[in-house]
Amino acid sequence: MLESSRTALMVAAYRARATAQKDAICKDPWAAALAGELGHEIARTYDGVYPHMELWVAVRTAFIDERVVRAADIPQVVLLGAGFDTRASRLAREGLRFFEVDHPDTQREKHARLQTLTGYPVTAPSYVTCDFETEDFVDRLVASGFRAEVPALFVWEGVTPYLTEAAVRATLRRIASATHERSVVIFDHVRKKIVAGAAREKDLESRAFVEGLGEPLRFGIDYPLPLLYEEGFRSVRPMTFDEICLHTTGTYDRAREFRFQGLVMASRAQRNVFA
């Protein structure tokens, strides 16, 4: 995400809109300013392609927020590819340390935007710059105070669809091999069909839209358990977005068409790891 990822700006705009709803299921008071007018403009355009995106972003945000809050025995949260994430400011608690890992260019852009926000706790997370193509993110974390010998929650939100399978596997393998066995990674993913271009025309419009923003879909997976097992994980909990939406809102509506999105939690430990 060099300069400003347009999909990241769009997602921030959707978080802001969801926050402004009367019965908001997620709350991010900083999202509107971080999105800027460009993010809101992109979101308004995408509404015509996929009208359920605001709810999808709200559900994903709320579900992951809940996992962070409930993981009371985990003292570290790592936001991989943090982008415009604000969890370190919103979910801070005593004894919990946040690390934001991202490309140096991305972090510079985020800091520039944060400087315009009155009251934002800029020092809430530890910022870890990492060029994922040439540097090891665990080594960079440890150099910034991350403790590999104690559990951590790795939040990898809205990233895997834009990576290659090799990059996804390498990241997961590193988490499994270099951190505490009770560490947990949570990430969302899309299905193979939409990445391969074998979906309905309506769904392909969504795929084409993000590609037009300069961020084409590269990785999709239908059932992540085998891949996660191969990379060293021994507890895996895959969930559909319909399940997450039901959990978060108490509602289900087939018309939302969340069938191409999934979310999964995984850990190297075999039991009692998911809050």
pLDDT, tens digit, 9 for 90 and up, residues 165-206 = 999 999 999 999 999 999 999 999 999 998 988 878 878 898
Residue 53 lies in a domain: yes
Q: Structurally, how many domains does the chain consist of?
A: 1
Residue 161 and residue 220 in contact, taking contact as beta carbons nearer than 8 Å = yes
Residue 272 lies in a domain: no
pLDDT of residue 271: 83
- The secondary structure of 72-108 as a DSSP string is TT--EEEEET-TT--HHHHS--TT-EEEEEE-HHHHH
- Over 70: is that where the pLDDT of 50 sits? yes
Over residues 142-147, mean pLDDT: 97
Residue 88 lies in a domain: yes
Residue of 197 and 234 predicted with greater confidence: 234
- Over 50: is that where the pLDDT of 46 sits? yes
pLDDT of residue 275: 67
Q: Residue 31 has which token pair?
A: 């999202």
Residue 275 lies in a domain: no
Cα 157 from Cα 79, distance rounded (Å):
8
- Over 90: is that where the pLDDT of 131 sits? no
Angle between helix 53-70 and helix 31-47 axes, rounded to 10 deg: 140
pLDDT of residue 4: 58
Average pLDDT value for the chain? 93
The CATH number linked to 196 is 3.40.50.150
- Please report, rounded to a whole number, the percentage of residues in the chain having pLDDT higher than 70: 98
Residue 69, domain extent: 6-267
CA 182, chain centre distance (Å): 20
Residue 273 lies in a domain: no
Query: Which ranges constitute the DSSP H helices of 144-200?
Result: 165-178, 192-196
Residue 274 lies in a domain: no
Residue 244 lies in a domain: yes
- Please report, rounded to a whole number, the percentage of residues in the chain having pLDDT higher than 90: 80
Residue 1 lies in a domain: no
